Structure 1
Amino acid sequence: MSETPLIFALPGNEAMAQQLSAASGWQVGAWQLQRFPDGESKLRYLSQVQGRDVVLVCTLDQPDMRLMPLYLAASVARELGARRIGLVAPYLAYMRQDARFHPGEGITSAHFARLLSSFADWLITVDPHLHRHHSLDEIYSIPSKVVAAAPSIAAWLRLHLPQAVLIGPDEESEQWVAAVAQLAACRHTVLRKVRHGDHEVEVSVPDSANWQGLQPVLLDDIASTARTMVAACNHLHAAGLPPPVCIAVHALFAGDAWQVLQQAGVAQVVSCDTVLHISNQISMAPALAQAMMEMQAVSSRA
C-alpha cells in the first residue's frame, strides 16, 4: 500500500493544515521556511518527499506576497522527487479580472491560472468568484475541485440561528443564497445593488413586512471593502429591522473594512475559515479534507 501524501502549510495556514490532517489522517510534513533580510525566501524540506505526493496548503489572500514561497515550495518538492503536487487554496485570488474592462488591460484571471497550473498537479478551493468564467476548467489546465460553502454555512445557521431570514446582497447572489436557505430550512430574499464606485454602493431592500420575529442574516461570498454589507445594514435599520448578522465566505476585509462594518450596527460578523480572521466560526476543513481525499484517489488511478 502506497504512503499517504504529506501536507505542508505555507505561513499562516498552519491551523488549517492541522485540521486537514486530523480529518484525513494524512501527516503534516516538517520543513523550514525563512526569509532573508533582502526579502528572498528559502525553504528546506525535513520530511522525505521523494516518491511521495505533497499537498501544499496556502490560502491566497494577499496573493502577491504569498505566491513566490508557494512557487518555490512546489518547485523544490518537484526537484527533490515528489510524485505529485496538490494545492489546497481555500481562497483563490485573481478571479475578479475575468474580462478586459478598459483598453490596455489584460484578463489576469487567465494569466494567474496558467501560473498555478504550471507548478501544481491539482487544485482545490472554496467558492471561487466565478462570473464570466463558468468553471475553473475554462482557465485552469489542471484538475480542480470546488468545495461549496453552502452546506457548512447552513449547518451553522441551523445550530445558531434557526429563526433566520437570509438576505443576499444583489440579484447575482440569489441562486447561492437560495441554496443555503434550502439547506437551512429558512426563508430568503435578495437586495438590488447599484455600485457607483469602488467605495460607493446603493442598496434597496424588498418589502420586509413579513420578516417580523426573524433574524436578518446578510450573506456574501467575499467581504472586501464591506461597503455592500454596510449599505444593506443601513437600509435594514431604516426598515425597522433588528441589527443583522453578517456572514461572509471569504473574510478579506481590506483596509478599514472591518472597523467600518463593526460601526454599522451589526449584531455579529461570522465568516468561514478560508481566510484567517477573528470572525472565523465556520470550519471548511471537513469538506476540504473530503475533497482532498477524493482528488487524491482520482489522481492515484491516473
Structure 2
Amino acid sequence: MSDRVTPNAEAPWVFSLQPHPLLEPLTAALDAQPGHLESRQFPDGEFYLRVCSTVENRRCVVVADLSHPDEKYLPLIFLLETLRELGASEVGLIAPYLSYMRQDCRFADGEAITSRIFAQSLSRHIDWLVTVDPHLHRYHALDEIYTVPSRVVQGAPVLAQWLTTKNNLLLVGPDSESEQWVSSIAGLSQHPYVIGEKHRFGDRHVEVILPDIEVYRDRTAVIIDDVISSGQTILQCVQALQSRGIDKIQCVAVHGIFADDSDKALIVAGLSQLVTTNTVPHPTNAIDITPQLLPAVIALLQRTKNTG
C-alpha cells in the first residue's frame, strides 16, 4: 500500500522544508492542508527529498525561511521543481524575508549584481511570490527583477498595532531612510518620534547621531527598524540614546536575522526588550504577521485559480 498522503478536499497544500512559525497559522487561515515531506542529508552532504503528499492538479504553497540563504536555496529548488514535476497545478512561494536584495548595482568593476541573478533564478521555479518589506533600495518594485506575479506585504501596520498597546514611548528611527516608515508607524500608533543620522564606514562599522531629545528623557525609547542583521546600527542607536540620558530602551523590527548572536549583544548593551515579527524564526518572535500576509496570498491563489 502506498504511504503517500492524499487530500480530502480541493484545498491548497502548504509545504515547508524547515519548521516555521507561520506554517501552522497560514495553513489554518487558508483552510489548506499541511504537505508532508521526507528529507535528510546523505553522508557526503547531498540532500535527499521525497514529497509524500499527492499534489497532481493541486495548488501548492511553499513557506520558506530565506535568511542565511546559501545553505537553504538548493533544497528549496529541489522542492519547488519536484512539486512541478509531480503535476502541481501551481507552485507559489511565501518567502517572508527575501534575501539577496542588497547588491542591486555594480559598485565596483567586476561585482556580481546578485539581487538580479537570484531573482531570475528563483522566478524560473515558481508561479508567484509573496514577501514582507524587501529591501527595495534602487529598485522601485519587485517586478523589476522578478518575472512572476508578486505581492509585497508591509510590516509597518502590524508593528504600529503592537505599539498602540504601549504607553509613554518615543519611537526612534536610526537613519533618514527609515523616516517615512517610522513616521507612518508613529502616526498609526500615536507616539512621537525622532530620526537619527547614520554614517556607514563598512558592513559592521556605523555611527548614529541623534537630534536633541531632552524633552523625551522620561519616555521609553523604542528603536524601529525593518531588518536587524549584524545589529551594529541598533547597537550604535542604543549607545546614542544612553549618551542622551535615556536608559529605558527597547527595539522592534520586522525581520530579525541576528548574525553572530547579535541579539545577545544588544541585550547586554542595554535593550530591555527585543521584539520581531515571525517572518524569520527566532525567540524574539512576538508579533504574528499572518493577518497581513493572508490577503496577498489569497489574491494570488484566486488569480491563478480564475486564470487556470
TM-score category of the 2 structures, normalised to the smaller one: over 0.9
The answer to whether the 8 Å contact 1:236/1:243 transfers is no
Query: What's the counterpart of residue 220 of structure 1?
Result: 225
Alignment partner for residue 43 of structure 2, among 14, 37, 46?
Answer: 37
1:72 and 2:56 correspond: no
Q: Does 1:10 align with 2:17?
A: yes
The secondary structure found in structure 2 opposite 1:196 is: strand
CA distance in structure 1 between the aligned counterparts of 2:43 and 2:168, rounded to whole angstroms: 53
Aligned to 2:64: 58
Matched, 1:93 2:103: no
Q: Please name the residue that 2:29 is paired with.
A: 23
Does the CA-based 8 Å contact 1:233-1:243 persist in structure 2? no
Q: What does the per-residue CA deviation read over 1:174-221, in whole Å, with 9 as the maximum and x for residues that have no partner?
A: 111111111112111210000112222111111102214322110111
Segments of 5+ residues of structure 1 without an aligned counterpart are none
Is 1:206 the equivalent of 2:185? Answer: no
Structure 2 alignment gaps of length 5 or more: 1-8
1:163 Cα offset (Å): 2.3
1:179 aligns with 2:184: yes
Q: Which moved more, 1:138-147 or 1:282-291?
A: 282-291
8 Å CA contact 1:9–1:17 kept in 2: the answer is: yes
The aligned residue for residue 4 of structure 2 is: none
Tell me which stretches of 4 or more aligned residues in structure 1 moved more than 2 Å: none
Q: How does 1:141-152 map to 2 (within 5 A)?
A: 141-152=147-158
1:111 alignment partner in structure 2: 117
Residue 260 of structure 2: SS of its match in structure 1? coil
- 3-state DSSP of counterpart to 2:239: helix
| One-letter amino acid matched to 1:8 | F
The one-letter code matched in structure 2 to 1:186 is: H
Query: Aligned partners of 1:196, 1:107: CA distance in 2, in Å?
Result: 21
Equivalent of residue 257 in structure 2, options 252, 257, 261:
252
Between the aligned partners of 2:106 and 2:97, the Cα distance in structure 1 is: 23
Does 37-46 or 147-156 show the bigger shift?
37-46
TM-score by length of 1: 0.96
RMSD: 1.3
User: TM-score, structure 2 length as denominator?
Assistant: 0.94
1:263 maps onto 2:261 in alignment: no
Distance, in Å, in 1 between the alignment partners of 2:140 and 2:194 is 24
Q: Is the 8 A contact 2:219 2:248 kept in 1?
A: no
Partner of residue 290, structure 1:
295
Query: Residue 24 of structure 1 contacts residue 290 of structure 1 at CA under 8 Å; is this kept in 2?
Result: no
Identity rate of aligned residues, in percent? 42
